[in-house]
Structure 1
Amino acid sequence: MPIIPKPSTAPSTRSEELRSFIFLSVVMAPVLAVLTVAGYGFVVWIYQMFAGPPGS
């Protein structure tokens, strides 16, 4: 029977939480916003390749 190590449950420190918040708000939120807009633009571009431009 393998020995399963107990997960560490040490509380995070204030500096770790601040670093995580800054990473999420300064890096991840803009990256996700750009990827979302770029993905939508790509989907519209591919759709228009098959369906034609609007009004045609």
Structure 2
Amino acid sequence: MSACRFVNQIFTRHGDFRRSDMTSSSANQTGTTPPLSRRQEIFRFLVLAFGIWPVIAVGVVGGYGFLVWMYQIIAGPPGPLGH
């Protein structure tokens, strides 16, 4: 089973994340949404893989570095106290 089919099965079991109750299109009124084309799926993957996730990773690592830096400003540098 491919990863995409596995993820699609998870979303169809727990509700469709693409469905919006605010729209009045006939596809959403019946509770179904049209399937994504292969081009749309590849585009969304590329946006996630090379756009969003790298930004999140840099933010998490930078945030951790900032927390360590602030901690060391308050508590002092690591190491023995007597030297």
Question: Is the structural similarity TM-score above 0.5?
Answer: yes
Q: 1:1-56 to 2 correspondence within 5 Å?
A: 5=24, 7=28, 9-55=33-79, 56=81
More helix by share: 1
In 2, distance between residues paired with 1:46 and 1:16? 43
Return 5+ residue gaps in structure 1 as ranges.
Answer: none
TM-score by length of 2: 0.56
In 2, distance between residues paired with 1:39 and 1:52? 19
State the AA in 1 paired with 2:33. Answer: T
Return 5+ residue gaps in structure 2 as ranges.
Answer: 1-22
**Matched residues, number:** 53
Identity %, equivalent residues: 45
